[in-house]
Structure 1
Amino acid sequence: MNIDPNKWGVIYNPKAGTRKAQKRWKEIKEYIESKNVDFDYVQSEGFGTVEVLARSYASEGYRTIVVVGGDGALNDAINGILTSTAENVSDIAIGIIPNGIGNDFARFWNINLDYKEAVDWIINNRRKKIDVGYCSYFDAHKHERRYFLNALNIGLGARIVKISDQTKRFWGIKSISFLAALFLIFFERKLYRMHLKINDEHVRGRIMTVCIGNANGYGQTPNAVPYNGWLDVSVIYRPEPLQLISGLWMLLQGRILNHKVVKPYRTKMVRVYKARNASADVDGRILPNHYPLEVGILSEAITLIIPN
């Protein structure tokens, strides 16, 4: 199919937990039309449909795919594009109009909830090649691979992301959501027996959480950037109760790597041989519990439209 390379393929993922979803999309759509942009759009209809829609757009030849949604929708879109039949996938440009509960990756680029500003930036079309993380595993039938832009969490980090995303529906403020998550898990401080290989070091023991970040990893890998070809890793051991409180505060301040129970790494590859009973997620999407995992980086795998 011959698609005008300047035509946008827009995927609208309604913000969960709001009755104003259609009103907001109507405003966004009208603003895009007022700018005389040529575009097609589809609305997702539930979990997993964004991935299917993005794969379809990419395979049909759209070179600019705009995601109106949060981190989960963006993750689905990246997975759809990278598993499409499109030629030169790395040249497909992704535009972001934040609309979800969690918008950490958009926030990393200083893209906020002002949809008019986001649309104007996409029209300006300033592009940057960015890295994409991947996680490979065997599900007992075939080898699977899941891509991520922000981070992969194993252990308590996966639970914190899940709980904080849920509480954002009520609080709407990131810091309060993290505090609510802390309150819910304060007395648990569960440890997981893990065995990882990072660079040439074997990391074994009882570990609370591991974050492997392509970007800031919800604050757990604050020095990671998705354009240097590296993954940042934070291995967090068991803190005492007061250390847990100080750790959360340092997390919110972007100083978590200074905490005494955190050991940071920078690497191209992480092998997770074992993480007993530990959940894992990529960009807030829970993975099946199929260890071992191979986590790596694809340099300049996709193009992102960034602010002026």
Structure 2
Amino acid sequence: MHRIRCKNTCKLETSWFVVINPRAGGGKSVIDWPTISRLLNKYDIRYTYAFTEYKYHAVELTVQAINRGYRNIVAVGGDGTLNEVVNGIFIQKVVNPNQITVGVIGVGTGNDWFRMYEIPHNYEECIKAISNKKIFRQDVGVAEYYESSVRHKRYFINAAGVGFDADVARRTNRLKDLGKRGVLLYVLSLLKSLIQYHSTRINVKVDGRHFQDKVFSITIGIGRYNGAGMMQVPFALSDDGLYDVTVIRKIGKLNVIASLPRLYNGTILKHSRVVALRGKSIEIMSIPGVELEVDGESLGETPLRFTILQQALSVIVGEQFKGSNLLAKTHPEPMEVTNL
């Protein structure tokens, strides 16, 4: 492992710093690292690397790398690894985050962010895309939440979930912490949450408009995919400076099961218990507190506040990605609602 040392002054590095999560994909990143390393060399990508050793270590490594002069970061892992790298980029104080470029080599289980940008799962094609450095500037979300009565802030680049979604994420992450791996973890967690979770009365404010009702879940999206391939915000654009918000009001358990295909085929907004909203600023309050997750990572609970930084991060995308202009053709206006 190459360990980086922080310095107050540094020479600007033109090479890449690679952050590897050894737990991603059930240890697949460690097994596949020799292959990934060989391909990086094949495409003449100069790099230094480090393996993470504990939760949030990727945040620290990213801050250290930027302090040392790196302006190109690659995350080897899944959505959670990428989220930590992004948070490192936005909490460091050395340079404006828009001077940093992020690439990803996916070996995680969810990889929802990857789908949106048509980033290849094949290592060689993915590394070739990094070498070509096709860049897209996307929005970055800012979530403020409470944990043990203390307010915290977290950046995210794909989606946040409130209520049922966060309950599922917490169960999934708990199983991962116990060493369990595989896509079935999410399905198992979803079923357990479905049995035990209850809707809560929630107050929502989107760009000054107030709504209140018993709510099953809220998805706040920059990207279109979450929950291992679900499309709860199917018309989200990742560079328009707006969140797409899908609110599922109180709904029966059998209705949830029957509606699962809608979550995967992008037609969930046609459901009678669903409301679609769009805005820059979102506030959510509830009694009792309702849980939050961002990019699949379990955080705290309500009260919550979301703001957005438009086109604040440069990311490497797949060669087949055509940009958001094409997607904008299917970007309808949100529903006008007087009360949820």
- Give yes or no for TM over 0.5: yes
Q: Among the aligned pairs, what percent are the same residue?
A: 29
Structure-1 separation of matches of 2:165 and 2:219: 7
Match of 2:276 in 1: 264
8 Å Cα contact 2:220/2:244 also seen in 1: yes
Report the more deviating stretch, 103-112 or 272-281: 272-281
8 Å Cα contact 2:67/2:94 also seen in 1: yes
Match of 1:225 in 2: 237
Match of 2:19 in 1: 11
Structure-1 separation of matches of 2:54 and 2:125: 27
Q: Does 1:301 align with 2:316?
A: no
Structure 1 gaps of 5+ residues are: none
Structure-1 separation of matches of 2:90 and 2:287: 28
Cα offsets for 1:210-229 (capped at 9, x unmatched): 11111125121111121111
Report the more deviating stretch, 250-259 or 179-188: 179-188
Match of 1:198 in 2: 206
Q: In structure 2, which of residues 252, 257, 262 is the aligned counterpart of residue 245 of structure 1?
A: 257
Q: In structure 1, which of residues 11, 22, 25 is the aligned counterpart of residue 33 of structure 2?
A: 25
TM-score scaled by structure 2?
0.82
Any residues of structure 2 matched to 1:107-118 within 5 Å, and which? Answer: 107-118=115-126
Structure-1 separation of matches of 2:225 and 2:11: 38
Structure-2 separation of matches of 1:187 and 1:39: 47
Instruction: Please give the secondary structure, in 2, of the residue aligned with 1:287.
Output: strand
8 Å Cα contact 2:118/2:318 also seen in 1: yes
Structure-2 separation of matches of 1:287 and 1:167: 16
Q: In structure 1, which of residues 2, 7, 31 is the aligned counterpart of residue 11 of structure 2?
A: 2
Match of 2:4 in 1: none
Which one-letter code corresponds to 1:103 in the other structure?
N
Match of 2:196 in 1: 188
Cα offsets for 1:259-282 (capped at 9, x unmatched): 111111010110113252321111
Q: Against the structure 1 CA distance between its residues 146 and 18, is the aligned structure 2 distance closer, same or farther, given a 3 Å change threshold?
A: closer
Any residues of structure 2 matched to 1:40-55 within 5 Å, and which? Answer: 40-55=48-63
Alpha-carbon distance, 1:119 to partner: 0.6
Structure-1 separation of matches of 2:253 and 2:163: 18
Structure-2 separation of matches of 1:19 and 1:180: 21
8 Å Cα contact 2:169/2:297 also seen in 1: no
Match of 2:155 in 1: 147
Alpha-carbon distance, 1:143 to partner: 5.1
Alpha-carbon distance, 1:128 to partner: 1.3
Match of 1:210 in 2: 218
Cα offsets for 1:99-134 (capped at 9, x unmatched): 112200012111232111111000001111110011
Structure-2 separation of matches of 1:184 and 1:142: 29
Q: In structure 1, which of residues 288, 296, 303 is the aligned counterpart of residue 300 of structure 2?
A: 288
Paired residue total: 304
Q: In structure 2, which of residues 111, 129, 135 is the aligned counterpart of residue 127 of structure 1?
A: 135
Match of 2:108 in 1: 100
Which one-letter code corresponds to 2:13 in the other structure?
D
Which one-letter code corresponds to 2:306 in the other structure?
V
- Tell me the C-alpha RMSD between the 2 structures: 2.4
Q: Does 1:39 align with 2:51?
A: no
